[in-house]
Structure 1
Amino acid sequence: MTAQDGHEELEAQFAQWRQYVLRRRELQPFDADELEDHLRGSVDELVAAGLSPDEAFLVAVKRMGSLDELSREFAREHSERLWKQLVLTADSRSPVAGTRSRRDLWAMVGCAAGAVASVKVPALFGLSLEDDSSFYARNFTLFALPWLAAFLAWRRKAGRSVLAILVALFALGAVAANAYPLADTSQSVVVTSIHLPIALWLVVGLAYVADDWRSFRRRMDFIRFTGEWFIYFILMALGGGVLSAFLFNTFKAIGILPEEFISHWLLPCGATAAVVVAGWLVEAKQSVVENIAPVLTRLFTPLFTAALLAFLVAVVWTNHGIDVEREALILFDLLLVVVLGLLLYSLSARDPLAPPGPFDKLQLALVVSALAIDVLVLVEITGRITDEYGSTPNRAAALGENVILLVNLAWSAWLLLTFIRRRTPFAALERWQTGYLPVYAAWAWIVVLVFPPLFSYV
């Protein structure tokens, strides 16, 4: 094993230890950061004393037992926090825990109320969902995501520089969504409505990692948060749909039609508030959702793999090209994004020290299938642009997105293959995915800010 391989394997062990520590609800990421600093220092001392990195890690972790002097010292230094109860008394029902939970709850309620108020402000200026659908399509995430970012930044105690960047980026998003003279039927409205949420969600990621944005581990934590947030949001959306149907039919039975209340208040206000509530649930109930999300990932990965392989077989069998009109482009890009999401979340939930297994081979098949479909889509898009059809905002955006996805999928397939063949550590795949996130953010901002004037606001 080379020194580089030993370093990457040691980093994987640190990542596994951190993942285990963060399962304790009592601990915050900055708690884990401080403990990890102590652990790394202990490992460095043991390596300097002549132990191998693996031996040093095992000994250092042993020394970090729940009742050792180091942990007690840490508890005394942070006596106002939950760590004191965790280490000294192991009482999860501490008053400190209740205080922090209540503070988080009230912070969430305040941010959710802010999101609800934001979505209703345009109505004060005569705008409505029915008559101004393009406005709401461009701005809907601006009503909710800044408040989710505010909640996360509050929990992380983000510094002033991070807060300033968050405000500036959300303001830039508001300008991009509203400053350009776009007609309701403009293609730029569609591309802005699709790409602005992506750009702003990665701004939320900056609030999540706060001052530790350079850490690939914190970026991987945000990927895990994204998957868990999505699950909670969908569950709440399904519950909201059931509630809406129940209200409509019960009031209809007594001669009252609550359509206006449901469409103007319940659905938009509930949706924006749910964005914040879902984030709070992930933060508060992390250990519960960790049991759900990996199961869903393992369920849908083979299903999507089978669907993609069946599609490729059908393309070869029928010798029929892919339709690259707007709806089809959105569909195929959405499919590739779902595949990427399955890959990202399965990576974030995986034990980094576990050896390659059958599920890793299944993921490789999924990535290779998605890569083949991406190539087919790129060939069709390039052909349409270079032929008499020319370029449009939709095709140009789809071309760039598929090129970005092609690079990511191709290198991911290679790293998965070498990992399965035990030539590359799992940490290399994690670093590649987390390091690639800024590429998506940069492209989304380019589409939102540059494409409308570039294509004359068509």
Structure 2
Amino acid sequence: MTAASDHDLEGQIAEWRSYMRRRRELRHTDGEELEDHLRSQITELTEAGLHGDEAFLIGVKRMGSFDELSREFAREHSERLWKQLVLPGEPDASTAARTRRELPVMVLCAAVAALSVKVPGLFGIGFDDEGTFYARNLSLFALPALAAYFAWQRRVGPRVIGVLAALFVLGAVAANAYPLSDDSQSVVLSTIHLPLALWLVVGVAYVGGDWRSDRRRMDFIRFTGEWLIYFALIGLGGGVLTAFTVGTFNAIGLDAEGFIQSWLLPCGAAAAVVVAAWLVEAKQSVIENMAPVLTRVFTPLFVAALLAFLVAMVWTTNGINVERDALILFDLLLVVVLGLLLYALSARDPGARPGLFDRLQLALVVSALIIDVLVLVAITGRITEWGFSPNKTAALGENIILLTNLAWSAWLFLGFVRGRMPFGRLEQWQTRYILVYAVWAWTVVLVFPLVFNFG
């Protein structure tokens, strides 16, 4: 083989290795064993006269799909999942040293996040005294600590740290410097959009400043889905803890509700943001087994729900209510659909052929696209009749952004399902579209209050 073909072959093997490492059922030694086997297959085939890329494809095909390999290793080592969940396992020296370094830093960042919730109280700002202050600043309590944890873990440079700090300061100024009344539409929009804008800032820290990399952005998308699962699990456990705390203290005549409302719930929620992120990094193998299962369970259910909604609309000839609560509900629905799509893409074997689940995802995207068009028609009619307002303008912009994403995703998915377009095009489109969400979120937070005179 020539030097150029050798380089191309190593690139293909590196891509295969990168995807294989996402399957945490396979340990590092398992991966090395599989790669050695693949290289042996390639050598045998190239000696028989095949080109390197042909040998690579045939070698991977002979070894079987990633899912089959994962299941095979899971069956052979069925005790691993339980050990990964409840035991520290038998890490090598480097892994053990990393855990010893990261755990105290995580605890420190979680403590900073928890205590930051109480800092406004030092200046006389209580939970019941300042109306929307805590709602507007909610993301500023926990996310800077989370970004700091990832910045330390990824060893980012001073320039990236400066960008992160500047963006968080900008968010704090936008949340507190504008003269927004508690009942204004702009304060509600800021409360909703600032956490999204700052979460994407955390993403810059998570990828170590390498935001131009499609692969690293997809890693952050995968992390977001796994973080949500862990945060929800911690929240459920916290609810049980709260119930037992109230009950046991009531049994001895003490009222613990004040402590719970002022300390346990707000501080615990802020700390859980950091703890959930640490758990994703430390126990990734457990969630990477659960998340694809949840995606495959809920995708057909959402397809059925959206199709039932469209049939009911046609049957009853009822239009969509465009009041604020209804608009938020529909936007959340479309976001959940995109979340299912994104996480399914991140967990998919890029070399696998289109199957039934891919067609279900296409049906999900097309159904959501139709609903988005109907919502846009309703919003446009309302704006034509009553004029622009912060809520209606934000809803219009968000649905146009979602419509663009859904429409092009449907086109790319259709091409992939029909075998006319590579899967990578769809994945690349989604990872690059994150920038659009970031720009829009910051626009709503920074520009809308000025355009609508802080109304």
TM-score by length of 1: 0.84
Quote the residue 1:343 is aligned against.
Answer: 341
Quote the residue 2:206 is aligned against.
Answer: 208
User: Which residue, out of 399, 403, 411, partners 1:402?
Assistant: 399
Quote the residue 1:363 is aligned against.
Answer: 361
Encode CA deviations 1:263-309: one digit per residue, 9 max, x unaligned.
11000001000000000000111111100111111111111111111
Quote the residue 1:189 is aligned against.
Answer: 187
Q: Structure 1 residues 16, 323: closer, same or farther in 2, change over 3 A?
A: farther
Does residue 19 of structure 2 align to residue 19 of structure 1? yes
Quote the residue 2:422 is aligned against.
Answer: 425
User: Which residue, out of 404, 408, 412, partners 1:415?
Assistant: 412
Q: Share of identical aligned residues, percent?
A: 64
How far does residue 59 in structure 1 lie from its aligned partner after superposition?
8.1
How far does residue 21 in structure 1 lie from its aligned partner after superposition?
2.5
- State the AA in 1 paired with 2:279: L
- 2: distance between equivalents of 1:370 and 1:156? 37
- 1: distance between equivalents of 2:213 and 2:57? 20
User: How many corresponding residue pairs?
Assistant: 408
- 8 Å CA contact 1:244–1:262 kept in 2: the answer is yes
Does residue 52 of structure 2 align to residue 55 of structure 1? no
- State the AA in 2 paired with 1:274: A
- 8 Å CA contact 1:12–1:426 kept in 2: the answer is no
- 8 Å CA contact 2:156–2:205 kept in 1: the answer is yes
- State the AA in 1 paired with 2:183: T
- State the AA in 1 paired with 2:440: W
- State the AA in 2 paired with 1:362: L
Quote the residue 1:265 is aligned against.
Answer: 263
- 1: distance between equivalents of 2:93 and 2:340? 39
- 2: distance between equivalents of 1:182 and 1:355? 53
User: Which residue, out of 231, 245, 248, partners 1:247?
Assistant: 245
Encode CA deviations 1:136-188: one digit per residue, 9 max, x unaligned.
11111111011111111111111221111111111111111111001111111
Q: Structure 1 residues 399, 9: closer, same or farther in 2, change over 3 A?
A: farther
- 2: distance between equivalents of 1:164 and 1:172? 12
- 1: distance between equivalents of 2:198 and 2:12? 30
- 8 Å CA contact 1:16–1:352 kept in 2: the answer is no
How far does residue 20 in structure 1 lie from its aligned partner after superposition?
1.5
Quote the residue 2:126 is aligned against.
Answer: 128
- 8 Å CA contact 1:9–1:425 kept in 2: the answer is no
Does residue 281 of structure 2 align to residue 287 of structure 1? no
Quote the residue 1:80 is aligned against.
Answer: none
- 8 Å CA contact 2:145–2:274 kept in 1: the answer is yes
Encode CA deviations 1:106-126: one digit per residue, 9 max, x unaligned.
110010011012111011111
- State the AA in 2 paired with 1:200: L
- 2: distance between equivalents of 1:11 and 1:416? 26
- 8 Å CA contact 1:10–1:54 kept in 2: the answer is no
User: Which residue, out of 359, 384, 388, partners 1:391?
Assistant: 388
Quote the residue 2:106 is aligned against.
Answer: 108
- 8 Å CA contact 2:300–2:360 kept in 1: the answer is yes
Q: Structure 1 residues 383, 20: closer, same or farther in 2, change over 3 A?
A: same
- 2: distance between equivalents of 1:192 and 1:453? 12
247-256 or 18-27, which deviates more: 18-27
How far does residue 453 in structure 1 lie from its aligned partner after superposition?
1.3
User: Which residue, out of 350, 353, 358, partners 1:352?
Assistant: 350
Q: Structure 1 residues 355, 52: closer, same or farther in 2, change over 3 A?
A: same
How far does residue 15 in structure 1 lie from its aligned partner after superposition?
3.9
- 1: distance between equivalents of 2:143 and 2:54? 42
395-404 or 210-219, which deviates more: 210-219
Does residue 211 of structure 2 align to residue 219 of structure 1? no
- State the AA in 2 paired with 1:21: R
- 8 Å CA contact 2:369–2:407 kept in 1: the answer is yes
- 2: distance between equivalents of 1:385 and 1:148? 40
Q: Structure 1 residues 404, 58: closer, same or farther in 2, change over 3 A?
A: same
- 2: distance between equivalents of 1:155 and 1:400? 36
Gaps of 5+ in 1: 1-6, 61-90
How far does residue 246 in structure 1 lie from its aligned partner after superposition?
1.1
- State the AA in 2 paired with 1:94: D
Q: Structure 1 residues 356, 24: closer, same or farther in 2, change over 3 A?
A: closer
- 2: distance between equivalents of 1:413 and 1:373? 14
- State the AA in 2 paired with 1:142: L
147-156 or 341-350, which deviates more: 147-156
Quote the residue 1:444 is aligned against.
Answer: 441
Q: What secondary structure sits across from 2:254 in the alignment?
A: coil
Q: What secondary structure sits across from 1:269 in the alignment?
A: helix
Does residue 171 of structure 2 align to residue 150 of structure 1? no
Q: Structure 1 residues 400, 16: closer, same or farther in 2, change over 3 A?
A: farther
- 2: distance between equivalents of 1:180 and 1:250? 45
- 2: distance between equivalents of 1:178 and 1:396? 22
- State the AA in 1 paired with 2:445: V
Quote the residue 1:67 is aligned against.
Answer: none
CA root-mean-square deviation: 2.8
265-274 or 147-156, which deviates more: 147-156
Q: Structure 1 residues 9, 145: closer, same or farther in 2, change over 3 A?
A: farther
- State the AA in 1 paired with 2:53: P
TM-score by length of 2: 0.84
- 2: distance between equivalents of 1:153 and 1:54? 41
How far does residue 9 in structure 1 lie from its aligned partner after superposition?
12
- 8 Å CA contact 2:146–2:202 kept in 1: the answer is yes
Encode CA deviations 1:304-356: one digit per residue, 9 max, x unaligned.
11111111111111111111111111111011000000000010011111110
Does residue 452 of structure 2 align to residue 455 of structure 1? yes
Q: What secondary structure sits across from 1:290 in the alignment?
A: helix
User: Which residue, out of 158, 161, 165, partners 2:159?
Assistant: 161
- State the AA in 1 paired with 2:238: G
- State the AA in 1 paired with 2:199: W
- State the AA in 2 paired with 1:395: K
- 8 Å CA contact 1:12–1:427 kept in 2: the answer is no
- State the AA in 1 paired with 2:401: I
- 8 Å CA contact 1:8–1:425 kept in 2: the answer is no
Q: What secondary structure sits across from 1:141 in the alignment?
A: helix
